[in-house]
Amino acid sequence: MAEKKPELQRGLEARHIELIALGGTIGVGLFMGAASTLKWAGPSVLLAYIIAGLFVFFIMRSMGEMLFLEPVTGSFAVYAHRYMSPFFGYLTAWSYWFMWMAVGISEITAIGVYVQFWFPEMAQWIPALIAVGLVALANLAAVRLYGEIEFWFAMIKVTTIIVMIIIGLGVIFFGFGNGGQAIGFGNLTEHGGFFAGGWKGFLTALCIVVASYQGVELIGITAGEAKNPQVTLRSAVGKVLWRILIFYVGAIFVIVTIFPWNEIGSNGSPFVLTFAKIGITAAAGIINFVVLTAALSGCNSGMYSCGRMLYALAKNRQLPAAVAKVSRHGVPVAGVALSILILLVGSCLNYIIPNPQRVFVYVYSASVLPGMVPWFVILISQLRFRRAHKEAIAAHPFRSIMFPWGELFDDGVSGLRFNRHVL
């Protein structure tokens, strides 16, 4: 009797999937990038986050509709292969792989900078190399263990954002840290008005903000390893959308309400300032630790995705069959190992280039356009998916909302973002 080959294991529960997606989405961009979007738009950046959240909501419901009927590893890349063409499946998988590799290299570059907060004399490449080792160990473990590791990593930044929002609401409504005098909502309309940056600034900020939601589609990558996928994925898609909206919009609301928008960034991180507002003297160290774990968590989620994308390509016979090799623990070890190797090579940039900010900006910028490909593909493949499953869609318990108007809205925002980025 032939020995059964190891396969991917359905070991991920809903809580694992939700935090993997949160871990990939809520990264350094929120903690470090809020000030830059405020510079463009002023308080109206809050509206930009709401519109971008609505954009992502429609995309995720479209993907959720397909995941419910076909919960496969690689999700949107597989759907592109099946319902568009093998070429689009190939393009989508490699674009997504490249995006996460670029994000991963930028994240480990950021980790080197954050560690220097405590150890300024340490060479930046040392913590970057250690980070690669930790990510490799996590991704080569059994998928359930990986899910637990990422769950607790992501929980650190989620907890920090929740605490920050609670503190901020206390400052706004009860005057905590402000002598008992409630700050109120004056900062939303003063200092140039709500649209202080004008429509041009608002649209520029909207394009940047949309990019900060990249990673939420990681839910789809977990489909082939989810326990009871129809129940688990349906729950995860619904919950993670609302949580990301609450965390992003809630955090930005607190920041733009407490501080004059034109002072944010010049006096340090708004997250640090919010904690310092109520007398937490170690605020800088706390936020630095949180951002470090956010970078590590984002890189960890990214490498998970990279390994599964290469596995899906090999299953579609677009890479050698050896890349689809799975360990006895159910890990696509060849795909993960190849991705980690590229990440290791990328970490060498921290040794070659002495300016870490330059490495971060160049590499992270390279991830933006490839990261848009899966979103376009989800919207297009859903149209053909519906034609192929007319009867199933009619009785579908988790259909996308406001079809096709939601998809048309997303097409408009995607086109705007593409034009602003290219031009």
Residue whose entry in the numeric block shows the structure tokens 């990510």: 135
pLDDT at 180: 82
> How much of the chain, in percent, has pLDDT values that exceed 70?
87
Residues 173-219: tens digit of each pLDDT: 988 877 888 889 898 888 888 898 888 888 888 877 877 788 888 88
With 70 as the cut, is the pLDDT of residue 70 above it?
yes
Residue whose entry in the numeric block shows the structure tokens 């954009």: 55
Q: Round the CA-based radius of gyration of the chain to a whole number and report it.
A: 21
pLDDT at 243: 78
Q: Which long-range contacts (CB under 8 A, 24 or more apart) does 12-15 make?
A: 12/143, 12/144, 12/147, 12/222, 12/225, 12/226, 12/227, 12/232, 13/147, 13/227, 13/232, 14/231, 14/232, 14/235, 14/236, 14/239, 15/151
The runs of H, that is alpha helices, within 227-282 are 229-258, 270-277
pLDDT at 92: 92
Least confident of 29-33, 52-56, 81-85, 308-312: 29-33
With 80 as the cut, is the pLDDT of residue 115 above it?
yes
The residue-averaged pLDDT of 286-297 equals 85
Can you name the CATH fold of 14-422?
Amino acid/polyamine transporter I (1.20.1740)
Q: What is the pTM of this model?
A: 0.85
Tell me the domain boundaries of the chain. Answer: 14-422
Question: Can you tell me the distance from the alpha carbon of 389 to that of 377, in angstroms, rounded to the nearest whole number?
Answer: 18
Residue 263 binned pLDDT confidence (cut-offs 50, 70, 90): confident
Residue 86 binned pLDDT confidence (cut-offs 50, 70, 90): very high
Q: Which two tokens stand for residue 262?
A: 């034109």
pLDDT at 340: 93
Residue with the larger pLDDT of the pair 229 and 357? 229
10 Å CB burial of residue 264 (0-12, 13-18, 19+) is buried
pLDDT at 397: 79
Between helices 229-258 and 14-25, what is the axis angle to 10°? 40
With 50 as the cut, is the pLDDT of residue 64 above it?
yes
Look over the chain and give the mean of its residue pLDDT values, rounded to a whole number.
82
With 90 as the cut, is the pLDDT of residue 298 above it?
no
The residue-averaged pLDDT of 257-278 equals 76
Residues facing 265 on adjacent strands: 268
